[in-house]
Amino acid sequence: MGRRGRRHERLRAPLSDYTDAQGNVLSLRGSLTPGARREYAEALMGTSARAADTREDTRQRAMELLFERLAVRWVIAGAPIERQRELLARLRVASPEERVWVRQTLREHCAEHFPDIESP
């Protein structure tokens, strides 16, 4: 059989689902590439930050970057969001309570799957 006739199965990272008090579900990827780990570490340290950025700005950007790399799906009030651009846009308009829950969820997920990286 020729190359075009073969079907290659892509390996997919395992997903973990986290549910908030309102029943919304955030699905996070169980793998993080070496490049993503490096980019996250740099963002967390603020090496690519502007001089005017505060420590909170730097941590916020690092949290968004980690969310961007790990979030696969977010079901809010029964409506699924699966595109990366839409996931990040939804995070940016999240209520303070939602942002706290997302940050706590990322911390929990990192502790379980990536104990070697600093949580947001």
Q: Are 67 and 88 in contact (CB under 8 A)?
A: yes
Q: How far apart are CA 86 and CA 69, in angstroms?
A: 13
Domain boundaries along the sequence of the chain: 15-113
Highest mean pLDDT among 40-44, 53-57, 58-62, 111-115: 111-115
The predicted model scores a pTM of: 0.82
Taking residues 81-96, what's their average pLDDT? 96
Q: Is residue 2's pLDDT more than 70?
A: no
Q: Are 120 and 91 in contact (CB under 8 A)?
A: no
What percentage of the chain reaches a pLDDT higher than 70? 85
In the chain, the amino acid numbered 106 is: L
Taking residues 63-89, what's their average pLDDT? 96
Taking residues 45-74, what's their average pLDDT? 82
H-type alpha helices, the chain: 34-45, 55-70, 84-92, 96-113
Q: At what angle do helices 55-70 and 96-113 cross, to 10 degrees?
A: 70
Q: Are 65 and 35 in contact (CB under 8 A)?
A: no
Residue 88: pLDDT band with limits 50, 70, 90? very high
Side-chain half-sphere exposure of 76, counting CA atoms within 13 A = 12
Looking at residue 20, its pLDDT comes to 97
Taking residues 30-39, what's their average pLDDT? 92
Looking at residue 13, its pLDDT comes to 75
Q: How far apart are CA 6 and CA 88, in angstroms?
A: 35
